[in-house]
Amino acid sequence: MPGMENEGSNLSRAEEIKNQANEAFKAHKYGQAIDLYTQAIELNSQNAVYWANRSLAHTKLEEYGSAIQDATKAIEVDPKYSKGYYRRGAAYLAMGKFKEALKDFQQVKRICPNDPDATKKLKECEKAVMKLKFEEAISVPESERRSVADSIDYRAIKVEPQYLGAKIEGDVVTLDFVKKMMDDFKNQKCLHKRYAFQIVLQMREMLQALPSLVDINVPDGCLLTVCGDVHGQFYDLINIFELNGLPSEENPYLFNGDFVDRGSFSVEVILTLFAFKCMCPSAIYLARGNHESKSMNKIYGFEGEVRSKLSETFVELFAEVFCYLPLAHVINQKVFVVHGGLFSVDGVKLSDIRAIDRFCEPPEEGLMCELLWSDPQPYPGRGPSKRGVGLSFGADVTRRFLQDNNLDLVVRSHEVKDEGYEIEHDGKLITVFSAPNYCDQMGNKGAFIRFEAPDLKPNIVTFSAVPHPDVKPMAYANNFLRMFQ
């Protein structure tokens, strides 16, 4: 019976490969683990464990769309396999889809009625859905909403004589103030609320006046440094400034979104970047990332951190100011810089991006959503997003976009890369990511790119993580999500 022997050897080989995948997963090599689980699935697609394990590896890489697909497949293979529902519920949760998550955790509870862990997670999920319903019930329609900034008079806030931290004298944010504030932050001291309000309100005014697509002009012989995601890793941000100099008119930076969330020093990061912009608007350019949004901040820690270090009013104020951040930048009419990526349709012009009304929470589809969420793929054409939002786009899509707009290069961020960067799409697209050892566990390097005019050839600098105080990533995150870390 050679057919049966062959099948038996396939099954045992699949099991061997699954064990190798598990080892890669334990070593935080999630991409490698996914490749190995895929090989195991090719040999035996009827094992629900392989699908559920690959789902978890996708979750670790924030590929929640793929995680949901794999978990759903595990459920199809074995409808009584509780881990399939568990993994899918966790992925829905990470996307902020609490109602879908609740259904899956209810199913886990049905299959394992005596599992204390399932009971605990179900209770938390029910709480989250109740809170969501309550918030929806009391929310004011967008058209009737007043700006929280109107109710803040920072000048009326008294600074106690015992406060010895950084102070802004009058209306001007100076370099001395920013340096003192960064030193205080390094020593885990807080900035007085009066000055925090002053910085964020000044920032709001400045950003409000900017277009959705900002043109940056770098004179010949001068440099611009582009950084990717920082994600609340304040001590790594300080290290970037030590390696490459502080932002100034002569040493400008562009930070390409995802300043906050996950890392537990997001307040320090955002106030530092905002303060430099207040000090000298041409020293620093800031683009919106998918994490500069209410739904992400609710889940991934920024909202909780702001509440803990500042106040509830700041939660609202940051949410509003994040809606004012530009969506993309163009350097010297040649390099297009955006957080996520390109579009589900061809023919998008820079003028279409300029015309986006960005003053809102990111929608679930359309140009603004795709700018913040999309990712490149290694094969041509377009495909569904592994994240469940936006899309994947190939080298042909990148090439056509560049040709249509007379550009040379796309620079984007949004994805962890082992070396801190990756060059794809025939050299026409670079991903840059500036949060080394992301979430204290990925072991990746960080990178930034220096562009010198006029030729704007990308000079990529990589760096390793530096130590930080013992506050874990996601320390302020949604209690429910922390249960899955």
pLDDT in tens, 35-44: 999 999 999 9
Residue in 58, 192, 231, 291 annotated catalytic: 291
Question: Residue for token digits 């566990």?
Answer: 441
Look at residue 3 and tell me whether its pLDDT is greater than 70. no
d(CA 328, CA 216): 11
Q: Does the active-site annotation cover 231? A: no
Residues 144 and 95: their CA atoms lie apart, in Å, by 28
Instruction: List pLDDT tens digits, range 312-351.
Output: 999 999 999 999 999 999 999 999 999 999 999 999 999 9
pLDDT digits (tens, 9 = 90+) for 430-440: 999 999 999 99
| Model confidence, pTM | 0.94
Q: What tokens does 412 get?
A: 């984007």
Which of 249, 204, 184 lies closest to 222 in space, CA to CA? 249
**Quick one: which of 234, 250, 421, 253 has its CA closest to 329?**
253
In angstroms, the CA 256 to CA 229 distance is 7
pLDDT score of 1: 46
At the second CATH level, the architecture of 2-138 is: Alpha Horseshoe (1.25)
Q: Are 336 and 326 in contact (CB under 8 A)?
A: no
Element (H, E) at 92: helix 82-94
What stretch of H or E contains 336? strand 335-338
Instruction: Determine the 3-state secondary structure of 482 from DSSP.
Output: helix
- Higher pLDDT residue, 20 or 1? 20
pLDDT tens-digit series, residues 373-407: 999 999 999 999 999 999 999 999 999 999 999 99
pLDDT, tens digit, 9 for 90 and up, residues 146-162:
899 999 999 999 999 99
Q: Annotate 285-333 with DSSP letters as a single string.
A: EE---TTSSHHHHHHHSHHHHHHHHS-HHHHHHHHHHHTTS-SEEEETT
β-partners of residue 160 are: none
Give 88's Cβ-side CA count (13 Å radius): 26
Q: Looking at residue 98, what is its pLDDT?
A: 85
Q: Where in the chain is the domain with CATH 1.25.40.10?
A: 2-138
Q: How far apart are the first and last CA of the chain?
A: 47
For residue 295, how many other CB atoms are within 10 A of its CB? Answer: 14
For position 82, what pLDDT does the model report? Answer: 93
Composition of the chain by helix, strand, coil, percent to 5: 50, 10, 40
Mean pLDDT of 50-72: 96
Cβ(247)–Cβ(253) below 8 Å: yes
Cβ-based neighbours of 100, under 8 Å, separated by 6 or more: 89, 92
Q: Where in the chain is the domain with CATH 3.60.21.10?
A: 163-482
Distance CA 315, CA 312 (A): 5
Grade residue 481 by pLDDT with cuts at 50, 70 and 90: low
pLDDT over 70 for what percent of the chain? Answer: 97
Determine the pLDDT at residue 317. 97
CATH class of 163-482: alpha beta
What are the residues whose beta carbons fall under 8 Å from the beta carbon of 288, sequence distance 6 or more?
A: 257, 322, 325, 326, 327, 339, 358, 372
For residue 175, which phi and psi values (nearest 5 degrees)? -65, -40
